[in-house]
Amino acid sequence: MRGLTAEWRRPSWRRFVLWWPARLYGLLASLRRALYRVGLLRSVQLPVPVVVVGNIHVGGSGKTPLTAWLARSLRERGWHPAIVSRGYGGSHRQPQAVHPSSDPALTGDEPVLLAQQLYDHEVPVWVGQDRVAAAHALLAAHPEVNLILCDDGLQHYRLQRDVEICVIDGAAPWGSQALLPQGPLREPLRRLQRVDAIVYNGSPVAPAAATPPAFIMHLEPQDFYQVNHPERRRQAADFQGARLVAVAGIGNPQRFARTLGSLGLALPLHAFPDHHPYQAADFAPLAADVILMTEKDAVKCKSLNNDTLWALCIAAEVHPDLAALVERRLNAHGR
């Protein structure tokens, strides 16, 4: 699924042709939300609080790094969080645990990345096409867990939630304000008025006209590690003189290009579709000594035994303290 590219922002015949399908999509989405609100569609409340991290537009916005940051922050505050994800792109059918060594083709790439980043913090990660079933299986296996973080579940109304967090790409918040398939929005902008917090990934160029508290997340680049041998580390300056290219199979590839540019690495970027299942043939045409990629891409490339692949570590920082707001909301709900 592509991110918020100029395709969404340019007026075109495509947008006009898709006006009626977008209206129908919006009507069906509103009807579905209303059916859950009045109880005609059944939602499920878990025995522990649920915090949903999601967005209202297609493409990458930074949900996964925010989920990892929030899990670590709440763990430091004494909570025992766990993460449930649908595991987009994975072939799994039943709920299952995700480990740092799990196969991304089975569980999805983002859950494996979360399991790797949170292993030392003892935060379980589970996936399931039925997120309610996955949460129940997780709680049965980990009775110490007292908080569920749902990665990318804002529109999954079957799972009741105590706190909703919407992540927005600060550099390209909306493109157009049209709903799918005419534009990039899964839900109308007024949906933002009902979430508990908005988190901008980067300083916003066009803040939303919404009442919830706003937070800013900065993804700070760190060092690089060799995908085959993660203990081998390099700084950006260490690549001086090498033939470099970058690849990105994420929702917003240009964000990765800008991050590399901030490190003084202005180089060609080869963009692949989001969640692309990398094969050795993808890198064969790239005449390079070093191929730079995101950590999300790296989890799918460990088995390729390609020593030219290096992944950039990213550290998320959120201001002001989002974890404190989450705790206040949970306390207000008596959870």
Asked whether residue 3 is marked as a ligand-binding residue, the answer is no
Say how many CA atoms lie within 13 Å of 43 toward its Cβ.
18
Tell me if 275 is assigned to a ligand binding site.
no
For 2-159, list the strands marked E by DSSP.
Answer: 50-54, 81-85, 96-98, 125-127, 147-151
Question: By the 8 A CB rule, do 200 and 89 touch?
Answer: no
- Name the β-bridge partners of 57: 185
Closest CA to 63 of 131, 113, 137: 113
DSSP of 89-101: T----S-EEE-TT
In 56-161 the beta strands, taken as DSSP E runs, fall at 81-85, 96-98, 125-127, 147-151
Instruction: Kindly give, in sequence order, each residue whose CB lies less than 8 Å from that of residue 199, ignoring residues fewer than 6 positions away.
Output: 62, 66, 165, 166, 167, 168, 214, 215, 216, 217, 318, 322
Query: Does 5 carry a binding-site annotation?
Result: no
* Alpha-carbon distances, residue 309 vs 133, 262, 266, 303, 329 (angstroms): 37, 20, 17, 12, 43
DSSP 8-state assignment for residue 80: -
d(C-alpha 26, C-alpha 185), whole Å:
10
Cα–Cα distance, 54 to 187 (Å, whole number): 12
* 63 carries a ligand binding annotation: yes
Q: Is 334 annotated as a binding residue?
A: no
Contact 170, 62 (CB under 8 A): no
Residues annotated in the binding site, as ranges? 57-64
Which residues contribute to the annotated binding site for ATP? 57-64
